[in-house]
Copies of this chain bind each other. A is one copy, B any other.
């Protein structure tokens, strides 16, 4: 269980949602007006099953990473309308009867069941990420907060994973997006879910504290331009880290070295002008952080290196050459391998382009494009009624939903890759290893295939048992989720994951569920009349 941000909370030891603004009022008004209409009709306790799923993978890709589950569980574990919230609702719905508000104030989620795919899993369209069962009026109240907690979380985790895939495993990926995120907790969520999706660290201090994510940062252009020259530096002494040695005038040391480098045969011509305020800023920063110095070198064009996306490949290669030349010229072992970080408006495309050009960048700092999911700013998870009082329900217009409370499995092939996800009716037997099974496209009758799975995983586990006797799945730590996510990505067949023309992963239903969908569909759909 991750650390509690807001105290232990009330629900079975599950902490409250990370953001204290996530309350039962964080929902659409129509959830409350519907709850009233259900209550008025005496239907509010009808047992309903809803699926939370999406219809299309984001970013033109063929996979998605599921994020946001822990926050959903925290939300329902602590779901309770306060008296002041009820007072507000009374004022917002003045025509509703008193009995309804008494009912509302009695609601909690003790009779709600939540089944979900583990957070950090690779997931696909149409397969429910979560199945939520309980009294229809209560489940409707959960719709908006659940979607709000899952949509962006899954989107930005997927975006981070895509950046990791293109950057490769050896690079350091730093999330620098707080200032450009969609509001403060857009920034905080981004830091959390980018880490989950494979980033190494964030610049966001609050996220570091809340989630235990590594934090990174050095200095900005303003720091550089705040210095006028070397006279700004008052205290010039620098002690070695074990205290055994002390340099009385680090500024002179820097100046001497600068002269030596300029004179060195192999480096002649590389160095021209030095901007003195820049030199003062770097020297001052080195005095403050002698063990973790990293200079931002493009405040003035005077610096020979400019970390900009346009020239980044070339500049990183030149910088590397220069570092290596210093190592050789002066015998500083390791100097050639000094870190080169790049951080200017980077995204999947620019990293891909850098890879193709060849570069010497060790670490990428990525902000705007990553955290705002600039290439596609929203994921369209929906929350659909699939069963009420054991009666299957279907929504036909536009996108047809798959009716019934279902079970979902991932079937693996001989080479260890996942082959297909299959949804079955709740009471159908689970697919068996080594047994041939017909997998059908849910809506297209000509698309079907036999599969003999070598390994079968049931996808959804019980994260909130309600009044059922299912054991409750523990919520793993962020590092466990991150490792799991990296592991899942490694297990996928590479052609599903590639950036260009990825192969769609197959999602199917059992023959029995297929027949039932189509029986229901014909039953509900009207026969048109051409005029």
Contacts and interface: CB of A to CB of B under 8 A. Distances in A.
Interface in A52-90: 85, 88-89
Nearest to A233: B41
A255 interface: no
A165 interface: no
Interface string A296-308: 0011111000101
Interface stretch (A143-151, A417-425, A478-486): A143-151
A20 interface: yes
A188 B29 contact: no
B181 A28 contact: no
A178 B148 contact: yes
Contacts of A185: 19, 21, 183-186
Interface stretch (A31-39, A117-125, A497-505): A31-39
A217 to B, nearest CB: 3
Q: Interface size class for chain A?
A: 35 or more
B391 A275 contact: no
Interface of A: 17-23, 25-34, 36-38, 40-43, 46, 48, 50, 85, 88-89, 92, 95-96, 136, 140, 143-145, 147-149, 151-153, 155-156, 176, 178-189, 203-206, 208-209, 215-223, 225-226, 228, 232-235, 269, 272-273, 275, 284-285, 287-289, 291-292, 298-302, 306, 308, 368, 372-374, 377-381, 383-385, 388, 391, 393-398, 524-526, 529, 531
A185 B188 CA distance: 10
A152 B377 CA distance: 13
Nearest to A150: B179
A313 to B, nearest CB: 18
Contacts of A37: 219, 223, 284-285, 287-289
Contacts of A220: 30, 34, 140, 143
A149 B41 CA distance: 44
Contacts of A155: 182
A301 B395 CA distance: 9
A40 B235 contact: yes
A377 B385 contact: no
Contacts of A388: 225-226
Contact of A378 (B218, B368, B383): B368
B23 A20 contact: no
Contacts of A178: 26-28, 144, 148
Contacts of A269: 531
Given A148-B187, A374-B377, A395-B225, A179 B526 contact: no
A222 to B, nearest CB: 4
A33 B218 contact: yes
- Top 7 A-B residue pairs of the complex, sorted by shortest distance between their CB atoms: A29-B217, A30-B217, A147-B179, A37-B288, A372-B377, A182-B182, A222-B385
A187 to B, nearest CB: 6
